[in-house]
Structure 1
Amino acid sequence: MDEIKLKIIEEIEKSKDEQIDFLQKLVKTPSANPYVKNPLESNPEDPVELQVAELIYNKLEEIGLSPKFEGISPSRPNVIRKFGRKGRTLIFNGHMDTVLPTPGWEVDPFSGIIKDGKLYGLGALDMKSALSSYIFMVKALLRFESELNGKIILQFVVDEEPIGASPFGTRYLLEKGYVGDAAIIGEPGTKKIVIGNRGGYRFKIEVFGEAVHTGLREWEEKKKGLNAILEMVKVINALQEIEFPIEEHPIFPGRKNVLTFPTIIEGGKAINVVPDYCIAFGDMRILPGITKEYIEGKIKEKLDKLGVKYKLTPIIYVPPTFIKPDEPIVQILKNNAKTILKREPIIEGSGAWSDMWMFIEKGIPTVNFGCDGEGAHSKNEYVDIKSVIDVTKIYALTAIDFLRFELSP
C-alpha cells in the first residue's frame, strides 16, 4: 500500500471515536418514515428527516466543508456536498430515513447504546452508519485533495424506505443534474458488492360487492348482498396459481420471480353489514426479462375468468437492473475491500431494490456496499463498530483509486 493510502487510514483511525460519537447522535435523532405503509401519500412538507439533515449539514460545516440543502421543500431537504477538482465524479449516496420501529426491542431503538462492540438503534445499520462513513471519509481526504483527479459528491437523501423510487430524494437530484461517472450506495453488508437488483411490481386490487344488513331476510335468502371479502378470496386463490419463468440469471444466482399477494388487505365497514368493498395490495420481485405488461397480462388472464368485479391498479414498476462485474468501480472497490477486510467479497445482484436502479437507468455504474450488522427492518438492529471504521477506510481508498488514476477506456 502506498504512502498516501497509509496516511489516509491513519487519519480515519485518529477520528474513529469522533465518528462513533457522531453515529450515536444520528441514531438518537429519529427519522422514521411513516409512509412505508402508504408510499404514494408521502408528504413533501412533512419534516421526516429534517433533524438528521441538519445534523449532517452542521457536521460537514464543522469539518470545513460548505454543504447545501437541495430538495422538493425546506421541510424535506437532501444534503449535498461536492468535494475535489474537475475530472471524473464519484457519488456516495445514502438515505437519511429509516423504517418504523417494530415491536419487541430489548433496548430503546433511539438510544445508540454500545454493547460488546455493537451500536444498537433504529437505522444504525440501515444506513446511518454509512452516512457517518461518508463524512469521515471526506474528512480524512481533505488533506489529500491534490491527489484527486476529480470530485466526490456526497448525497444524503430523503424518502427512500417506502418505495425506493421517491420523487423527493435520489430521483430529484438526478433530475437536477447531480450525476457522475460511478456511484456507491451504502446499503448494509460487506460480504458482497451488489451490482444490480431484481425489479419489482407493486399493485392494488379492489373488489366490489353489495352491502346489506346481515339481519335482513333478503340476505338470509341470498336475494341481496355480495360479500366483497369472499370475492377477494377467489382473487387471492387464483393469483397463487400464476406461474412465472424460473430460468436463472447469472447476476442473480439462485433467485426467482416471486409474487406475494396479498401483503395488505382491508375490507368491511361494520360487524353487521355485508362488506361491499375489499382492497388488497401485492408485491412481485422480478428477474430480467419480466415486464410490467407481462405481469399485468398474467394477472388479468386469471381474474377475468372468475366473474369477480375487480379493478387492478399499478402502484410502481421498477425494472431489473445490473452492471457488468468488470466495471472499474466494482473492481476498485473489490480490491480495496480485500485489502482492509482480508477477504474478497462476492459480486452479484440483490433480491431487493434500492435507489441504485435510478442511477443505472441514467447510465451511471452503481454498487451497494455498506457496514455489517444485523436486524435491519427488525428489532434490536445494530451495526458492528469495527465494520463502520473498516468501511470508512474502504470508501476512502476506493475514492482515491477511482479519482487519482486514469481508467482504461
Structure 2
Amino acid sequence: MTGTPDAIDPDATIELLQELVRIESPYFEEDEIVAFVYNWLAEAGLEPEYHPVSEPELTGYEGNNVLARLEGTDPDAPTLLVNAHVDTVEIVDGWDEDPLSGRLEDGRCYGQGACDMKGGLAAAMVAVRALADADLRGDVLFTAVVDEEGPYGLGTNQLLRDGVVGDCDAAIVTEPGPVLAQSDLENPALLLGARGRFLYDIGVRGRAAHGSKPHEGTNAVVDAGRLAAALAEMDVGTHPKLGAGSVCPLSIEGGGETLSVPDACRLLVDRHVVPGEGPDDVLEDAERVADGLGLDSAVEIGFREAPASDVYYGPYLTDADHPLVGSLEAGAESVTGTSPAIGYFSSVGDFNYLGHRAGLPTVILGPDGENVHGAGEFVYADEVVDVARILVAAASDYLG
C-alpha cells in the first residue's frame, strides 16, 4: 500500500541501513555519504538538491547538505521538517571486527554510527520515499545534514542561516532516543526537549618564577585547578522535566617548561543548562565563583569561539499537547501497539538549534541501540523499520 506505513519494506530498509553504515563518514569527511543520499533520493524520484555549507573562518569547512521537499496540496497546511545527520564520530579504537561491517546478528546492525545515527537516517529516507505517494495537504521537507558530530553543527546551522526551514511549522529529528534520554526508556518513545550547553573557555594568567622558588611566582596551573574544582561544585539550575544542569571540567592546559612556575593556563569547562539559563547568566555564574576564590592569578572567562554569537545549544521544550506530538503518539500506537513513553534528551544536538534558535516544536524519535560513539556500536534493526512506519503514519495524520 503506497503512502502508508505498510509501504515500508523491512528488508529494503535494513539493506539501506547496512549500505549507510558501510560508508565511512566522520564529520568534515562526508562527501561520499552525501553523494550516496543524493543519488538514492534522485533514483526514488524525489528531486533532491545540494545545499552548500561553508564555514571558512574557524574550520575551513566546505560541504553540502541534501534537501528534498514533498509538496502538499494546500499552501495553508503545515510544513513538517524531518532532519537527520549523515556524519559520525571518528572510528574509535577497540573494535574486534570491521567497524564498518554493517553486520546483522540477533536483530542488531553493527558499525560505527549505526545507532548515531545511520539507523535514524535510513528510517527517515524510506519514510520520505513512502510519503511521496501519499496525498498530503502539507509539505514535508527532508534535510540530511553534515557536521552534527563536529564542534558547531554546521549543517543545521546553515539551514537556519539560509532560511531553509523558515516555512516549517514543526520538526522531527530521528536521533537515537532512549539510549541518550534523561531517564530509562524503551521504544516507542518521544523525546520532547533537551538541556542546552555552553563551553567555557577560561584563561588564567599567573606570574612566572624559577621552579625552585615557587613562592616567588603565581602558579596559573594550580589556580586553574582550584577554579575547575570550584566550578564543578557550583549551583546550577533545575527544571521539572529536563532535570538539573551540570558542570564538567574537560581540560587544563598550561606550563610545560622544565623548571618554571607556569604563568598561563587554559581551562575548558562543559556546562549543561536548563531553560532560564542564558549566556549572560552562565558567564555571571562562573565569574562569581572565580571572584569568590580570591585567586592571585588573573582570570578571564568567556565561551569557546564560534562562527557567530548565536551559534550555541540553547535548551528547549515542546508542548506535549502540540498536534505533532498527538500524531506521533497515534502513529506509534498504531505501528507498535504500545503508547509511546515521553522523555527528554540528556545532551545536545541539532534538535537544540531547531527547538531553541528556530523556535520549532521539535520531537526526537529514533531507533535505539547501545555503545553510541564507542566500539561495538549497534542499532536494533527492527526499530529502524518501526521508526520509518511511525514517521509515515504521523506525517500522514499531521499533514492531513
Q: 1:325-404 residue pairs with structure 2 within 5 A?
A: 325-360=320-355, 361-404=357-400
CA contact (8 A) 2:95 2:375 kept: yes
CA gap 1:238/1:142 in 2 versus in 1, 3 angstroms: closer
Q: Give yes or no for contact 1:202–1:317 (8 Å, CA) kept in 2.
A: no
Q: Note if contact 2:197-2:313 (Cα within 8 Å) is conserved in structure 1.
A: yes
User: How many correspondences in the alignment?
Assistant: 371
Query: Which letter maps to 1:310?
Result: V
Larger Rg: 1
String of CA shifts for 1:162-198, please: whole Å, max 9, x gaps: 34x53x3112112322221111000113343111111
CA offsets 1:80-109 (integer angstroms, 9 cap, x no match): 001132442111001111122333223222
* 3-state SS of 2:247 partner: strand
CA distance change for structure 1 residues 351 and 223 in 2, over 3 Å: closer, same or farther? closer
Residue equivalent to 2:219: 227
Q: State the shift of 1:350 in Å.
A: 2.0
Determine the C-alpha separation between the residues in 2 that align with 1:124 and 1:224.
55
Q: Aligned AA for 1:301? A: R
Any residues of structure 2 matched to 1:119-158 within 5 Å, and which? Answer: 119-144=109-134, 147-158=135-146
Deviation by residue 1:45-90 (Cα, 9 ceiling, x = unmatched): xx52111100100111111221110022494100000113244211
| Aligned residues of 1:292 and 1:317 also touching (Cα < 8 A) | no
Contact 2:203–2:264 (CA<8 Å) still a contact in 1? yes
Task: Note closer, same or farther for the CA distance 1:121–1:353 as it changes in structure 2 (3 Å cut).
Answer: same
How big is the shift at 1:138? 2.4
What pairs with 1:226-265 in structure 2 (closer than 5 Å)? 226-246=218-238, 248-249=239-240, 251-252=241-242, 255-260=243-248, 262-265=249-252
Which of 265, 285, 309 pairs up with 2:298? Answer: 309
TM-score (norm 1): 0.84
Q: What SS does structure 1 have at the residue aligned with 2:325? A: helix
Once residues 207 and 337 of structure 2 are traced to their aligned partners in structure 1, the CA distance between those partners, rounded to angstroms, is 65
CA distance in 2, matches of 1:200, 1:300: 17
Partner secondary structure for residue 136 of structure 1: helix
Per the alignment, residue 106 of structure 1 pairs with 96
SS at the partner of 2:266? strand
Aligned to 1:90: 80
Identity across the alignment (%)? 32
SS in structure 2 opposite 1:318? coil
Structure 1: gaps (5+ residues): 34-46, 213-217, 405-409
The answer for the alignment partner of 1:56 in structure 2 is: 37
1:169 is paired with a residue whose SS is helix
Alignment partner, residue 79 of structure 1: 66
Contact 1:50–1:75, Cα closer than 8 Å, also in 2:
no
How far apart are the structure 1 equivalents of 2:216 and 2:4? 76
Aligned ranges 1:164-203 → 2 under 5 Å: 165-166=152-153, 168-179=154-165, 180-189=168-177, 190-203=187-200
**3-state DSSP class of the match of 2:224?**
helix
- The CA deviation string for residues 350-379 of structure 1, in whole angstroms up to 9 with x for no partner, is 221222222233232111110121111222
State the AA in 1 paired with 2:175. E
Q: Calculate the TM-score normalised by the size of structure 2.
A: 0.86
SS of the aligned residue for 2:94 comes to: coil
- 2:18 corresponds to which letter in structure 1? Q
Structure 2: unaligned runs, 5 residues or longer: 55-60, 178-186, 305-310
CA distance in 1, matches of 2:312, 2:160: 19
Show the counterpart of 2:282: 295
- Secondary structure of the residue aligned to 2:163 is coil
The runs of at least 4 consecutive aligned structure 1 residues that moved more than 6 Å come to: none
Do the aligned partners of 1:97 and 1:159 also contact (CA within 8 Å) in 2?
Answer: yes
C-alpha distance in 1 between matches for 2:283 and 2:92:
33
